[in-house]
Structure formats: structure tokens, C-alpha cells
Amino acid sequence: MIVVAEIDLRDLWRRMDEVQLGQTGRGLVVSADGIIVAHPERRYVGRMIPDALRPALEGYGGHTEYVDPLSGKTMLAAYSPVGGASGWAVIVEQERDEVFAPSRLVAILSLVILLGAVVMAVLVNTLVAAGITRPIQRLAATTRVIAETGDLTRNVPAESQDEVGELTQHFDRMIANLRAAETQIRQLNEDLEHRVLERTAQLESANAELQSFAYVVSHDLKAPLRGIRQLTAWLSTDYAERLDDEGREMLQLVMTRADRLQQLIDGILEYSRIGRDTRVEKRVELNALVQDTIGLLSPPEHIQVTVDAVLPEVVGDPVDFQRVFQNLIGNAIKFMDKPEGTVHVGCTGRASQWQFSIADNG
């Protein structure tokens, strides 16, 4: 719908000339640019209105007081916008001295009558504009808020049954559909997060079981395996003169197979550690750990392994500590070339650190 209004400036001037508001009262009409287009005194036509009257151009009604730049008189003025969003305004002003004169009541009544006449003249335009622009402005404002904040709880009530009202209803239904979709997406995300947490917990449990199995295999199988290797070494040494070439070859085959089994056990342990950090930081009692390591190594009778009376309690990964002591003590036992061998595990405190030592007479 398009509304076109035509205003005859000469008619406006005639109407402004007919305004009788005391001796100094006058009415004027200003355009949206703030230019006076109708005034009883033609010298004012084409001039800009004072800053005090600017709110009338922004769609506000009210009253104010200002000094007329031409006459130097203090004026009281009332203003009102015309046509809603048109930006035009009608202003009635009068010298302050006359307003507060005994004829003040008559001036106020004349002002009311004038404002009523002007408002009635543009009433049709205002009603039509309000019926179209106000719902659209409200719809635009709601759309802007939703775009900026994402708040889908806002609605625009339909004020009429015409095309604008139908547009508003369609907009509200669209927002309702978006709210339902958002709720569904949120529920799907929560379900997905729950499933991910469940799968992660299951994977962590499986990894923990695999790691535990690898440690059990490493701990429980290495001890008897070392016993087999030690017994084979004793047979090779103590019964060397009684064994023929085939017997010595069989013992060597046993040693080779035992080494291969040792490699397989170590491979299982390393495989369980691939792709994740298996370090477990906790307090480790080194006295018990070192004694357990010595038991796993099963040193021969001619090698005596001694440990300082008290080893400290430290924080770290017990697997790493056991691997270090196992490698160092195992090397000392393996390469011992004395008939009576000794291996000593020592510890010395240095400020906030500990220094460990593995010494042997080999």
C-alpha cells in the first residue's frame, strides 16, 4: 500500500496567517530538514529552526523555551510531529512575557485549538502511516534483536488481519520452528556427548586392562624364565665334561629359546605402552621395589647383592624405577667375571635430590 500526500504551501501560509494567539503568538510548519516552510512572518521562511526545537524532527512532542535569534525575545514553544515518520512538525510559539500576562488562559485555549486543527488536518495520513509502518518497524526491531542476540523467545503480536498481520504470523511460526529445531539439536548434542563419554570410559577401561595384563605377563613370566636360563647356565658349567656335543647343543638351544621368549615378553609390555603415556606418578617405596627386582633377577649363588639399609621413598613411575634398577643390577650380574661377585646398591642424599649408585667388583 502506498499513500501519497500533497501539501499546498500557499494554503499552509494562509492557515498560519489566520492563527491568532495573542499579540506575539504564531504558528509555523517545518520540514524534516528543519527548514521553516510556513510562518506568518515571511522573513522566517527558509530559515533553520533553533536547536531547542530539534526534538520535533525526531518524532517527539513537547514544549521548550528559547531565544528568538531575530527578535531577541524569549519564546515559549510547543511542538508536535506530523505524520508519524514523515519528519515534519508543527510548532506554536509565543513570547514568554505575553504568555504569563492576564490573557494566559485565552492563549492556552487558542494553542489547544490550533494544535487540534493541525492534528486533525493530518489525522488521516497519521492513521494510515501508523497502521502500516508501526507493525513493520516492530517486526524489523524484533528481527534485529534475534540476529544480534540469538534469542528465539521473542514474538511479534499481530495487530491486524491484513497482509502485514499475515506477515507477522508467518514470522512467529518461523521463530517457533527455529526454537523447536534448536531444542532438538541441543538434545542430539547432549546424547552425542553422553555416548562419547561412555565410549571413552570403555576405551580407558580396556587400555587399563591391557596394561595390567602386560604387567602381569612381564612380572609373572620373567621370574621362571630367568630360573630356566640360570639352571641351563649351571648345567652348562657344572656338567660340561659329562655332556657330549649334542647335549651342549640342546642346552644352547634352550638358552636361545629362553632369550627369544624374553624378547616376546618385553615386546608385549612395550606394545601396551604404544600410543599413550603410561607414566603413573605416585609415591614409590624403593626398598620393596629393589628387593622385588633382585628376586626377579635371581642372581647365582656366587654373586651377593647388597642394598643400603634404608632407601628413600620417592615420587615417580614405579615401572620406570624398576626398569632402571633391573637393567643396572642385571648388567652387573651378567658381566661378573669373578668367582665371588658382589653388587651393592647405594644411595646418598644431596640437597633436594637423591643420588643412587650400583657398584660391583667385576
pLDDT-based confidence at residue 72 (cuts at 50, 70, 90): confident
Tens digit of pLDDT for each residue in 139-177?
677 777 777 776 766 666 656 666 666 676 667 777 777
The answer on pLDDT for 33 being more than 80 is yes
Integer Cα distance of 83 and 271 in angstroms? 83
DSSP 214-272: HHHHHHHHHHHHHHHHHHHHHHHHHTTTT--HHHHHHHHHHHHHHHHHHHHHHHHHHHH
pTM of the model: 0.33
Integer Cα distance of 286 and 356 in angstroms? 11
Tens digit of pLDDT for each residue in 305-346?
999 888 899 998 887 888 899 889 989 998 888 889 999 999
| Mean pLDDT, the chain, whole residue set | 77
Question: What pLDDT score was predicted for residue 351?
Answer: 73
Question: What pLDDT score was predicted for residue 9?
Answer: 64
pLDDT-based confidence at residue 76 (cuts at 50, 70, 90): confident
**What is the 3-state composition of the chain as percent helix, strand, coil, each rounded to the nearest 5?**
55, 20, 25
Integer Cα distance of 13 and 346 in angstroms? 115
Question: What pLDDT score was predicted for residue 55?
Answer: 83
The answer on pLDDT for 101 being more than 80 is no
At 287, the amino acid letter reads N
Q: How far apart are the first and last CA of the chain?
A: 108
Answer yes or no: are the C-beta atoms of 17 and 40 closer than 8 Å. Answer: yes
Q: Which whole number is the average pLDDT over 29-50?
A: 82
Integer Cα distance of 10 and 159 in angstroms? 38
Burial class of 146 by CB neighbour count within 10 A (0 to 12, 13 to 18, 19+)? middle
Which residue carries 485555549 as its cell?
A: 109
Tens digit of pLDDT for each residue in 219-278?
667 777 777 877 888 888 887 788 788 888 888 888 887 777 777 777 777 766 665 555
Question: What pLDDT score was predicted for residue 200?
Answer: 86
Q: Is residue 308 classed as helix, strand or coil in its secondary structure?
A: coil
Q: Which residues on neighbouring strands pair with residue 306, listed in sequence order?
A: 344
Burial class of 196 by CB neighbour count within 10 A (0 to 12, 13 to 18, 19+)? exposed
For 67, residues 6+ apart whose C-beta sits below 8 A from its C-beta are 50, 73, 74, 75
Among 115-129, 275-289, 310-324, whose mean pLDDT is lowest?
115-129
Which residue carries 661377585 as its cell?
A: 341
Answer yes or no: are the C-beta atoms of 262 and 300 closer than 8 Å. Answer: no
The answer on pLDDT for 128 being more than 60 is no
Name the H helices within 7-94. 9-18
Answer yes or no: are the C-beta atoms of 329 and 297 closer than 8 Å. Answer: yes
Per-residue HEC secondary structure of 133-177 comes to HHHHHHHHHHHHHHHHHCCCCCCCCCCCCCHHHHHHHHHHHHHHH
Question: What pLDDT score was predicted for residue 276?
Answer: 55
